[in-house]
Amino acid sequence: MRYLTAGESHGRCLVAIIEGMPSNVHISVDRINEELRKRQMGYGRGLRMKIESDEVRILSGIRNSKTTGAPISLMIENKDWPNWEKIMDPVVSSSERMVTRPRPGHADLSGAIKYGLKDIRDVLERSSARETAIRVAVGAVAMQLLEQFDIEVHSHVVSIGGIKCKETTDYSKCFWDIVERSEMFCADNEAEAKMRDLIDKAKAEGDSLGGVFEVVVTGLPIGIGSYVQWDRKLDARLAYALMSIQAVKGVEFGYGFKAAEMPGSMVHDEIYYSEEKGYYRVTNGAGGIEGGMTNGQPVVVRCAVKPIPTLYKPLKSVDMRTKQPVEASVERSDVCAVPAASIVGKAVVAWEIASALLERYGGDNIEDILRVYKEINSKKGY
Ligand X SMILES: Cc1cc2nc3c(=O)[nH]c(=O)nc-3n(C[C@H](O)[C@H](O)[C@H](O)COP(=O)(O)O)c2cc1C
Ligand Y SMILES: C=C(O[C@@H]1CC(C(=O)O)=C[C@@H](OP(=O)(O)O)[C@H]1O)C(=O)O
| Contacting positions for ligand Y (CB under 6 A) | 9, 46, 48, 52, 128-130, 133, 246, 331-334
Q: Which is nearer to ligand Y, 79 or 268 (CB)?
A: 79
Q: Which does 278 bind (CB under 5 to 8 A by kind): ligand X, ligand Y, none?
A: none
Q: Which does 130 bind (CB under 5 to 8 A by kind): ligand Y, ligand X, none?
A: ligand Y
Q: Which residues contact 269 (CB under 8 A, 6 or more apart)?
A: 281, 282, 283, 284, 285, 286, 295, 297
* Residue 104 CB, nearest approach to ligand Y (Å): 13
Q: Which does 156 bind (CB under 5 to 8 A by kind): ligand Y, ligand X, none?
A: none
Q: Which is nearer to ligand Y, 19 or 183 (CB)?
A: 183
**213-232: b or e for each residue (b if 16 or more CB lie within 10 Å)?**
bbbbbbebbebbbbeeeeee
* Residue 207 CB, nearest approach to ligand X (Å): 12
* 35 within 8 A of 136, measured Cβ to Cβ: yes
What CA–CA distance (Å, rounded) separates 185 from 212? 12
Q: At what angle do helices 29-39 and 132-147 cross, to 10 degrees?
A: 130
* 91 within 8 A of 70, measured Cβ to Cβ: no
* Residue 52 CB, nearest approach to ligand Y (Å): 6
* Residue 229 CB, nearest approach to ligand Y (Å): 34
Residue positions in the annotated binding site for NADP(+)?
39, 45
Q: Which is nearer to ligand X, 129 or 347 (CB)?
A: 129
* Residue 331 CB, nearest approach to ligand Y (Å): 5
* Residue 199 CB, nearest approach to ligand Y (Å): 15
Q: Which does 245 bind (CB under 5 to 8 A by kind): ligand Y, ligand X, none?
A: ligand X
Q: Which does 133 bind (CB under 5 to 8 A by kind): ligand X, ligand Y, none?
A: ligand Y
What CA–CA distance (Å, rounded) separates 11 from 25? 31
DSSP designation for 16: E
What CA–CA distance (Å, rounded) separates 48 from 168? 33
Strands 293-295 and 299-305: unpaired
Residue positions in the annotated binding site for FMN?
126-128, 246-247, 291, 306-310, 332
Position of minimal CB gap to ligand Y:
48
Which positions touch ligand X (CB under 6 A)? 46, 105-107, 127-129, 132, 245-247, 306, 308-310, 333-334, 337, 340-341, 344
Q: Which does 289 bind (CB under 5 to 8 A by kind): ligand Y, ligand X, none?
A: none
Q: Which is nearer to ligand Y, 40 or 218 (CB)?
A: 40
Q: Which is nearer to ligand Y, 79 or 281 (CB)?
A: 79
Give how far the C-alpha of residue 25 lies from the chain's centroid of Cα atoms, to the nearest Å.
22
Q: Which does 341 bind (CB under 5 to 8 A by kind): ligand Y, ligand X, none?
A: ligand X
* Residue 249 CB, nearest approach to ligand X (Å): 7
Q: Which is nearer to ligand Y, 145 or 242 (CB)?
A: 242
Residue positions in the annotated binding site?
39, 45, 126-128, 246-247, 291, 306-310, 332
Q: Which is nearer to ligand X, 132 or 218 (CB)?
A: 132
Nearest to 297 by CA among 222, 382, 201: 222
Q: Which is nearer to ligand X, 246 or 317 (CB)?
A: 246
Q: Which does 217 bind (CB under 5 to 8 A by kind): ligand X, ligand Y, none?
A: none
**3-state secondary structure at position 308:** coil
* Residue 187 CB, nearest approach to ligand X (Å): 20
